[in-house]
Every structure is written in C-alpha cells, then in structure tokens.
Structure 1
Amino acid sequence: MNVPLWFALAVVGYLGCKLIRPPLWLVLVLLLGGYLIADTTLAPVIDTTIK
C-alpha cells in the first residue's frame, strides 16, 4: 500500500495533537520555525546532519 507522505504526516500530526495535547502556541511555533528554516542556508546543514 502506497500512502502519500503529506497524508501520513497529517495523520501523525493530528493523532499527536489529539493524544498528547500540546499547547497551541507550541504547535504554531514549531510549524512556523520549520517553514522559515527550510528556506535558509541552514537547510542543507540540517539535512546532512539528519541523514
């Protein structure tokens, strides 16, 4: 079964927010921070560190 990555991330994110109940500000900060870092010169460094 092939599941698109965006769908799998959406399901995991929804379940994580539903079960763990983090504060809304923390969710927004993490989403905004990830979006902003992805477009900087740090993105390749983070990518190689993770892999």
Structure 2
Amino acid sequence: MNVTLPLVLVLGVAAWAVVRFLNIRLWVAVLIGLFGFYLANTFLAPVIDGTTRSGVDVINTTQQK
C-alpha cells in the first residue's frame, strides 16, 4: 500500500512537533529553514540532493523486501 503525502505537509508537521515538544523557539526554527534555503544556493546543494535521494532509495528498497 502506497501513501502519497506532499513533502511540505510532512515537513510542516515535523516542524510543529519540534517547536511544540522540544521547546525550540519559533525564531530558531525559522532561522534553520532560512539556512536551508541558503545552502540550496551553494556548492553543497548537489551533495545534499544526492545524499537525500540515496537515503530515500535505501529506505524504499528496504520496505519492498
């Protein structure tokens, strides 16, 4: 059974849970998000993208077995 969720929804729920349960201040969560956008414009973006895709592939192939 496959469930398709938008990534924005998953990240939003994760951010809400972090702010709510780990007592992270909202401005810190916003700062981390902005830093992510900054990293997307650097030379590290292809490395981050490749690593993320590899991790997703590993998880997807593990669940299919």
Partner of 1:4: 6
CA, structure 1 residues 30+15, in 2 after alignment: closer, same or farther (shift >3 Å)? same
Structure 2 unpaired stretches of 5+:
55-65
Q: C-alpha deviations, 1:4-45, integer Å up to 9, x for none? A: 121111112112211111123321221111011112222112
Q: Which has the larger radius of gyration?
A: 2
Question: Normalization by structure 2: what TM-score?
Answer: 0.58
CA RMSD of aligned residues (A): 1.9
Partner of 2:45: 43
Number of aligned positions between the proteins? 51
SS in 1 for 2:34: helix
Contact 2:39–2:45 (CA under 8 A) maintained in structure 1 = yes
| Identity rate, percent | 33
Question: Normalization by structure 1: what TM-score?
Answer: 0.68
SS in 2 for 1:15: helix
